[in-house]
Structure 1
Amino acid sequence: MNSIFNDIKNAFNRHDNSLNQLILINILVFVALILLRTILWLAQTDYFGTIMSWLSLPSDPVDLLWHPWTIFTYFFTHRDWLHIIFNMLNLYWFGMLIREYLGSKKLVSLYILGGLSGAVLYLLFYNFVPFFIQRGSAEMIGASASVLAIIVAAATLLPDYTFNLLLLGPVKIKWIAWFLVLLSVSGAVGDNAGGNVAHLGGALLGYIFIRQLKNGSDMGRFIHSTWAYISGLFSRRPRMKVSYKNPATATYAASSASGKPSQNEIDFILDKISKSGYESLSKEEKQKLFRASQKE
């Protein structure tokens, strides 16, 4: 048992391990719910439904006011095996791409912002679109909106990157992303209408995130410090003092002297990846991309 706890703790001690941390949080929540459901079933109590309502995102704004944390907890919560397996596999495959090209911090930003965007669209549809209003109140769980944000972001950044799929062979990830988006559009009038609407919210965020990043704007900057604090709770490393320079006194020469690439250089590299793939980069460009992923 101590070995398991040590493995979990070590996973959060590494600052560049965000992909595994996200997957681990989802798995830990899933396992905890399985254990609770089993214990409560043996005790012949019906408290499990109450526990799930504390974690699920309600469509009713009044319920949300009483459970505001659910706008975050819902995208770390799963109840079915197939649901979490599908989401975690996609998170791993596409999250590896985002982590390799943009760094761990951007991956966390996409995951959280994708989940929040999915929640916003879900709430808007259930409270303003007649088809959803007549369906009555509902609750939502699952990381699908967050995961689809990462999938679409990867496809926007690297549209011609190829995965070798079982039975299908090599497929460009832009077609995988389009398929999943269209699947969510078709499912927006099905049994899981609210969930599929949330997927589309995540997909839209993923596209906008990369477009803004190429324009020099990081939508997830405010998330970085929060995630670093959460990860630091599991770490024994001493706190580091960070000093900030006045942007007004910073110069391009100072940036170059520090070895960190400028935003223009990063934009050029990202455009080159989008057009010709990662392998088209020179060794120097790959090193610049790596340094950029570590600098914030």
Structure 2
Amino acid sequence: MSISNDIKYKYNTLNVADRLIVINVAVYILNTLAVALFQLRPDFFMRWFELPKGFGDFITQPWSVITYAFFHGGLSHIFWNMLLLYFSGRIFLSLFGGRRFLNVYFLGAIAGGVIFMLSYNIFPAFSGVNTSLIGASAAVMAILIFVCTYMPNQEVRLFFLFNVKLWYIGLGVVLIDLVQIPISNAGGHLAHLGGALLGYVYARKLYDGKDIGTGFERMVSAVVNLFKKRQDKPFKTVHRNRGTKAGTASSVNYSQSGDDRQKKIDSILDKISKSGYESLTREEKDFLFKAGKED
């Protein structure tokens, strides 16, 4: 039980980019193990979540415009995507919060998916090609190009050798995708460009004071609220302790217990900052985990 609490606590302390990395890696490992152990086709599960090129097929699984971004075709595919997400996510989250990060990430995935489907249904070069889209590349590209656009002159250390401005990196990865479209994996590179375009437009609009992700955020919140169970508020018994004056709020004891609880949390956090999380006792870890869930 303590190990389970440790894992949950450490997951809850991760930032939103790291959580997405954990989820992507977990999906990859579970899918790979299930396919290998049960001797299934490689796309046995993936076919329900990958993004098809045809609009008719897409109508039967509309969720795929998001879910395709959580599946990867191989170890190198997920490795480079997650590595790029880790570093670009660090820069992004040093500027903005997690909600805006998710807006850019998922809108990038959607934009990449839309460009993929449009391309394979418009350009004659892709006529008759049977393919589908998987991978977080478009979403990751949206994050990367966002930071490259929002702070283009910021320098970062590349390969531990030299400094380079972010706009050079952004321009470089876009050119690489453009050059590789006629060579291989055209659909993937087109999706990358769709994500990159979203990241660029989002950053430019935000720089001008307009957040184009607010509508998407409201829509997601509305959908989430539909699935939330309505919790009926229990009846509360209000009473006065003996010796208290009439009209004295009944929350005095609650405030005191709340203060004691906060002092204990602060004490534990101080201990973590001085000696690390592993220095906590089992009771302290359990208390901190439960306090985090209540907050």
After TM superposition, the score normalised by the length of structure 1 is 0.70
Note if contact 2:150-2:207 (Cα within 8 Å) is conserved in structure 1.
Answer: no
Task: Give, as a single letter, the amino acid of the residue that structure 1 aligns with 2:93.
Answer: R
Higher CA-based Rg: 2
- C-alpha distance in 2 between matches for 1:17 and 1:222: 23
1:229 Cα deviation from its structure 2 partner: 8.7
Residue equivalent to 2:89:
95
> For residues 101-140 of structure 1, what are the structure 2 equivalents within 5 Å?
101-134=95-128, 136-140=129-133
The answer as to 2:30 corresponding to 1:32 is yes
Task: Return the TM-score normalized by structure 2.
Answer: 0.70
Question: Relative to 1, partners in 2 of residues 1:19 and 1:40: Cα closer, same or farther, differing over 3 Å?
Answer: same
Q: Shift of residue 110 of structure 1?
A: 0.9
For 1:150-229, what aligned pairs fall within 5 Å after superposition?
150-166=143-159, 168-224=161-217, 226=220
Structure 2 unpaired stretches of 5+: 228-232, 234-295
Q: Residue 7 of structure 1: CA displacement?
A: 5.1
Q: Secondary structure at the match of 2:183?
A: coil
Asked if 1:10 corresponds to 2:4, the answer is: no
Residues of 2 paired with 1:39 and 1:132: CA distance?
35
Q: Secondary structure at the match of 1:49?
A: coil
Q: Helix, strand or coil for the counterpart of 1:50?
A: coil
In 2 relative to 1, CA 8–63 (structure 1 residues): closer, same or farther, beyond 3 Å? farther
Cα pair distance change 1:13/1:148, threshold 3 Å: same
Structure 1 residue 78 corresponds to structure 2 residue 72: yes
Percent identity between the two aligned chains: 36
* Counterpart pick for 2:142 among 141, 144, 149: 149
Match for residue 66 of structure 1? 60
Per chain length, whose mean CA-contact separation is higher, i.e. which structure has more relative contact order (CA < 8 Å, sep 6+)?
1
For residue 165 of structure 1, report the CA deviation from its aligned partner.
1.6
CA–CA distance in structure 1, aligned partners of residues 69 and 195 of structure 2: 11
Q: Which runs of 4+ in 1 moved over 3 A?
A: 5-14, 222-230
Tell me the CA shift for residue 190 of structure 1.
2.2
Distance in 1 separating the partners of 2:2 and 2:29: 17
**Counterparts of 2:117 and 2:170 in 1: how far apart (Å)?**
24
Residue in structure 1 matched with residue 245 of structure 2 by the alignment: none
In the alignment, structure 1 segments of 5+ residues that lack a partner are 234-238, 240-296
- C-alpha distance in structure 2 between counterparts of 1:175 and 1:68, whole Å: 36
Distance of 2:221 and 2:89 partners within structure 1: 17
* Structure 1 residue 228: Cα displacement: 11
- Cα distance change of structure 1 residues 227 and 163 upon mapping to structure 2, 3 Å threshold: farther
**C-alpha offsets along residues 166-212 of structure 1, whole Å, 9 cap, x if unaligned?**
27511112111111100110111122000000000000000100111
Is 1:57 the equivalent of 2:55? no
Residue 243 of structure 1 corresponds to none
Query: Following the alignment from structure 1 to structure 2, what is the Cα–Cα distance between the partners of residues 227 and 12?
Result: 22
CA contact (8 A) 2:35 2:44 kept: no
Q: 1:115 to 1:164 in 2, by over 3 A?
A: same
Task: Please tell me the residue identity of whatever aligns with 2:31.
Answer: L
SS of aligned partner of 1:163: strand
Contact 1:11 1:20 in 2 (8 A): no
How many residue pairs match? The answer is: 225
Q: Superposition RMSD on alpha carbons, in Å?
A: 2.5
Relative to structure 1, the CA distance from residue 165 to residue 27 in structure 2 (aligned partners, 3 Å threshold; closer, same or farther) is same
3-state SS in 2 of match to 1:148:
helix
